[in-house]
Amino acid sequence: LEDSATGRLLPQSFHCEIPGARLDQAKATAAILKDEVYKRMPWACGADGGPVLPVTTDPVEVLLNRTWRPTLSVVGADGFPELKNAGNVLRPYTAFKLSLRLPPLIDGNAAALELKALLEDNAPYNAKVTFTPDGRAGAYGATGWNTPDLAPWLSQALNDASEAHFGAPVGYVGQGGTIPLMSMLQKGFPKAQMMVCGVLGPKSNAHGPNEFLHVPYGKRLTAAVAQVMAAHP
């Protein structure tokens, strides 16, 4: 399933060819953000007193890894006793909750079924392994969304608004974590232009405990969105 040395997922069906336009956008955004794309994250303290490092420090690769390459994360575990109660005894079972993030062009339902077969078939030592996909949006796995090409007026309006309120050209960043609503909206309104933005990142904690937003950024983003809407032909 995974190369333990690099973290790369082995099933080729979990990967897709990165569209040329998305690669160009990642390069342009990396040129703006540079190493801040990973240095601004709250890394834990490492062995030498410095921060823990990401799997790559190439800003372009950091941006591509977060959206256009699959990633497997263990987000929960069960069957393990607390340290204060742990002893040298056999456990009756072990359970893990896995999060498989897929590129937007990969079918989530098909990938979930393949992952199920991969985990359950030919388990080592004749162990019994069961995997239950967490169904979302009427399927075993949610499929991502890749926005259509922007109309020239919108592309220009976004860049003008970014220059006016942030002092830099517009940058496009893929965001992990599927919101099925976007695919539904695109199917219902195939000719509509989509602008997806929000206040996320350092000094913002959305959709979680102690939720808060970076207010100065939020004000500038609101002004930028208003300018883009005013530019609609």
The pLDDT tens digits along the chain (233 residues) read: 999 888 899 999 999 999 999 999 999 999 999 999 999 888 999 999 999 989 999 999 999 998 899 999 999 999 999 999 999 988 899 999 999 999 999 998 999 999 999 999 989 999 999 999 886 656 788 888 898 889 999 999 999 999 999 999 999 988 876 667 888 888 899 999 988 888 877 788 877 788 888 999 999 999 999 999 999 99
Taking the C-alpha atoms of residue 178 and residue 180, their distance in angstroms, rounded to an integer, is 6
Q: Which two tokens stand for residue 132?
A: 């239950």
The answer to whether residues 107 and 165 belong to one domain is: no
Answer yes or no: are the C-beta atoms of 224 and 199 closer than 8 Å: no
The answer to whether residues 115 and 158 belong to one domain is: no
Q: Is residue 216 part of a domain?
A: yes
Q: Is residue 112 part of a domain?
A: yes
Structural domains in the chain (count): 2
pTM greater than 0.85 (yes/no): no
Residue 38 is part of which domain span?
Answer: 12-126
The answer to whether residues 79 and 172 belong to one domain is: no
The answer to whether residues 181 and 117 belong to one domain is: no
Q: Which two tokens stand for residue 221?
A: 């983003």
Can you tell me which residue has the tokens 């309006």?
Answer: 157
Answer yes or no: are the C-beta atoms of 105 and 96 closer than 8 Å: no
Q: Which amino acid is at 2?
A: E
Q: Is residue 20 part of a domain?
A: yes
Pick from 68, 54, 52: which is nearest to 9 by CA? 68
Q: Is residue 103 part of a domain?
A: yes
Q: What is the CATH number of the domain that holds 62?
A: 3.30.70
The answer to whether residues 106 and 158 belong to one domain is: no
pLDDT in the model for residue 24: 95
The answer to whether residues 18 and 109 belong to one domain is: yes
* Phi, psi for residue 127 in degrees, rounded to 5: -70, 155
Q: Is residue 18 part of a domain?
A: yes
Decide the pairing of beta strands 71-78 and 95-101.
antiparallel
CA 63 to chain centre: 10
The three-class DSSP label of residue 211 is coil
Taking the C-alpha atoms of residue 42 and residue 65, their distance in angstroms, rounded to an integer, is 18
The answer to whether residues 73 and 107 belong to one domain is: yes
Name residue 139's beta-bridge partners.
Answer: 136
Output the 3-class SS for 129-145. Answer: CCCCCCCECCECCCCCC
Q: Is residue 132 part of a domain?
A: no
Pick from 26, 54, 31, 45: which is nearest to 174 by CA? 26
The answer to whether residues 159 and 121 belong to one domain is: no
Q: Is residue 209 part of a domain?
A: yes
Q: Is residue 2 part of a domain?
A: no
pLDDT in the model for residue 137: 57
